Amino acid sequence: MPPASASSRRRSCATAPSAWAFHAEPKLRTVLWDFAGEPIPVAARDCLCRLQDALIGDLGPVLADLLDDEEIEVLGRRLQAALAAKKFPAPGPGRSFPWPPI
């Protein structure tokens, strides 16, 4: 099977579960709001730290074949914000659920 093109890989990411969706614009992701404001467990923060280190290291160039530079930069900023907050984010202004309902 031939390798997927970058554009088809981006489409695959866009339709994947929210944890794997990458986009530079802040978009609503399907999450469990029950965790909003609760502390991120230490083990999960450790994973986020390792991901952040990898993004700065060898992972960044690998992702460059799959994502736009801006998407990689935003991922780094989101990781930094999550690590600084040490808690799960709360929904922002506006509708905090997918619409239309399925």
Total domains, the chain: 1
Predicted confidence (pLDDT) per residue in 9-62, tens digit: 433 333 333 344 577 777 656 556 788 889 999 999 999 999 999 999 999 999
pTM beyond 0.85, yes or no: no
Rg (the chain; Cα; Å): 15
Residue in this structure with the two tokens 């990458």, named with its chain if needed = 22
Q: Which of 7, 2, 22, 25 is CA-nearest to residue 65?
A: 7
* Structural domain that includes position 41: 37-89
Cis preceding linkage at 100, omega within 30: yes
Residue 72: inside a domain, yes or no? yes
